[in-house]
Amino acid sequence: MAPVFAFVAGLTFGLGLIVAGMADPAKILAFLDIAGTWDPSLLFVMAGAIAVGLVAFAVARRRTSSVLGLPMQLPTARAIDTRLVGGSLLFGVGWGLAGFCPGPAIVALGAGYGKAGAFIVAMLMGMAAVDLIERKRVRSESETPDASGA
């Protein structure tokens, strides 16, 4: 059952993006262009989504398992560090370059836009590169106990 609900959630999410106009990079870039003719629509999208999200996550927080009996897996990371800020700043640069973030790019690919496909393939490569670097780093740190113990 779980994948069925996940599919419906993804479909609903995508329809929300389309209705909100957020699948259109031109509209995202109009939001990010505060010095030009600014379109604040994205803030209203966030407000609408968070209004519902606040209730949903308040309920989710009090449960240890989901309605389907699956474990409730809410993020546990709390660190506000260089990695979080640096990564987020970098993400914002890419967002500003293309007008795409991951969700809208997948929706635009579903609508048949090749450029969205190119964005997604590159994004997957970027993610895989980080995973590779991080795995190597963790391995080399565990191989030199002296350094990690210092």
Partner 1 sequence: MTLDSGAFTPWSATAGGIVIGVAAALLVLANGRVAGISGIVGGILSPRSGDVAWRIAFIAGLLAAPVVHSAVSVLPAITIDGTYPMMIVAGLVVGVGTRYGGGCTSGHGVCGLSRLSPRSLVATLSFIASGFATVYFLRHLAGS
Give residues 19-78 in contact with partner 1 (rule: CB under 8 A). 19-27, 29-30, 32-42, 44-57, 59-61, 65-68, 70-75, 77-78
If one asks whether residue 137 binds partner 1 (CB under 8 A), the answer comes out as no
Distance CA 91, CA 24 (A): 18
How far apart are CB 76 and partner 1 at their closest, in Å? 10
If one asks whether residue 10 binds partner 1 (CB under 8 A), the answer comes out as yes
If one asks whether residue 138 binds partner 1 (CB under 8 A), the answer comes out as no
Going by the DSSP 8-state scheme, the letter that residue 75 receives in this structure is -
Distance CA 34, CA 59 (A): 36
Distance CA 90, CA 146 (A): 33
Residue 79 vs 150, nearer CB to partner 1 = 79
